[in-house]
């Protein structure tokens, strides 16, 4: 395998532009670059979550997701190239079903928290929702494969379910919202 990054400091971005995989240079303030950055941040948030003690099933799911997110970022970096498709979206659907099947039904809204792993899954979920909004904004400007938004939408649902599963695995229940708790 050839070296992909033999030189890290190039100074080519000093003028406020960045290079896409096509070789085209665009402004770092463009929606495409914002979407790429949010997807990268999401991948990093999942990387932090992976530093926690997790079940093997959760660890494998998150590791697969990191690879998908790199593909998604690659697709954003090379307009017109397709790396994320229906297969990845359907895999997330199956993971949601699998992890949700062992959880009790929800009767209240859940607050982010409980175990550290659950809290980190909630942080990743909120970063995922932001990435989804950024991608939707890009989709309003340019044509995108519909599976990109579908993937992020399903992923945020999966991260919510994984947060609940982490709390259950850690011996904690869900942290439930108590409407009006501090009204006096």
Per residue in 66-113, pLDDT (tens digit) is: 999 999 999 999 998 999 999 999 999 999 999 999 999 998 999 999
Q: How far apart are CA 26 and CA 48, in angstroms?
A: 30
**pLDDT per residue as tens digits for the range 21-67:** 787 786 667 899 999 999 999 999 999 999 999 999 999 999 999 99
Alpha helices in the chain (DSSP H): 31-49, 56-77, 86-100, 116-141, 146-169
pLDDT at 17: 73
Choose among 83, 53, 59, 99: nearest CA to 151: 83
pTM of structure: 0.90
**pLDDT per residue as tens digits for the range 116-136:** 999 999 999 999 999 999 999
**Dihedral sign for Cα atoms in the order 55, 131, 74, 144:** positive
**pLDDT per residue as tens digits for the range 122-177:** 999 999 999 999 999 999 999 999 999 999 999 999 999 999 999 999 988 899 99
Look up the CATH architecture of domain 26-99+109-169.
Up-down Bundle (1.20)
Domain ranges of the chain: 26-99+109-169
Q: Classify the phi-psi angles of 113: left when phi > 0, otherwise alpha if psi is within -120 to 50, otherwise beta.
A: left
Q: How far apart are CA 161 and CA 100, in angstroms?
A: 6
- Residue 18 in this model has a pLDDT that exceeds 90: no
């Amino acid at each position: 395998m050839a070296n992909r990054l033999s030189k890290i400091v190039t100074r080519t971005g000093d003028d406020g532009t960045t290079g896409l995989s096509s070789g085209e240079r665009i402004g770092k303030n463009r929606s495409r670059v914002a979407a790429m950055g949010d997807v990268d941040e999401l991948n990093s948030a999942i990387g932090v979550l992976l530093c926690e003690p997790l079940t093997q099933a959760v660890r494998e799911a998150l590791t697969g997701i990191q690879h998908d997110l790199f593909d998604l970022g690659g697709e954003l970096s090379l307009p017109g190239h397709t790396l994320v498709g229906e297969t990845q979206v359907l895999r997330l659907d199956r993971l949601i079903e699998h992890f949700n099947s062992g959880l009790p039904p929800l009767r209240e809204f859940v607050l982010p928290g409980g175990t550290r792993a659950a809290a980190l899954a909630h942080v990743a979920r909120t970063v995922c929702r932001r990435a989804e909004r950024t991608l939707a904004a890009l989709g309003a400007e340019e044509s995108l494969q519909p599976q990109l938004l579908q993937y992020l939408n399903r992923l945020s649902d999966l991260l919510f379910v994984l947060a609940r599963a982490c709390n259950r695995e850690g011996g904690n229940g869900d942290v439930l919202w108590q409407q009006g708790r501090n009204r006096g």
